[in-house]
Amino acid sequence: MGEQEILAAAKKAILDYDVEKAKQVAKEGLDAGVDPVALVEKGFVPGIQEIGDLFDCGDVYLPELILAADAMKAGTEICEAAFPETASKTKKKVIMATVEGDIHDIGKSIVVSFLSANGFDVYNLGRDVTVDTFVAKTKEIQPDVIGSSALLTTTMGHQEELEKALREAGIRDKVKTIVGGAPTSQEWADKIGADAYAENAAEAVAKVKKLCGVS
């Protein structure tokens, strides 16, 4: 297959919720010399974005959304392992997770892929992550930035709880925080004391770079 066919197959694997196919396409793409960053950004990401749009319109439901996210994770993990060491490695560490009670993590997964493609050492804690887990992992990993995603108005309060918990643990001044997700905003970030807000993956990368002082 040519590069365009591989990129189309990567997108289709996500749309078909096919974990094994996503892995296969990732391996075939890398074997064919397709740039792993391009394979993620131009293949898997368009597929997951389309699924997200379908979910927002009510044309697919939560089980399909989760299956698509699993396929995305399977494919991108293979690609991320092949990202070139020279891809502007920053040595900066970022924790990313979706907050407790929230399992819609497509947006967060895209951000993780984009950050990895830009040389960040990303620790993806997954979805439905408690504040206590955020704090424990922060103490363990000592990241430069913590990113939290909330997709529901009923769960976004955990982002505020995280800010409070980091202060109580005495580590808030040692890390930067960024929030995202459909119900969040810059106003929300300002209200809870987060350092930044990002509306999409590209903006998240730019904001994290700024927080870390890298270009």
Higher pLDDT, 106 or 194: 194
Return the CATH fold of 3-81: 1.10.1240
What Å distances lie between residue 122 and 22, 28, 54, 79, 103, CA to CA?
A: 21, 25, 28, 14, 19
Query: Where residue 65 falls among pLDDT bands split at 50, 70, 90?
Result: confident
Answer whether 142's CB lies under 8 Å from 174's CB.
yes
User: How many whole angstroms separate alpha carbon 203 and alpha carbon 150?
Assistant: 16
Any residues with CB less than 8 A from the CB of 141 and at least 6 apart, and which? 93, 95, 123
Each domain of the chain, given as residue ranges in start order, spans: 3-81, 93-212
Q: Which architecture does CATH list for 93-212?
A: 3-Layer(aba) Sandwich (3.40)
- What pLDDT shows up at residue 85? 62
Q: Residue 88 above 60 pLDDT? A: no
Query: Where residue 90 falls among pLDDT bands split at 50, 70, 90?
Result: low
Q: Residue 215 above 80 pLDDT? A: no
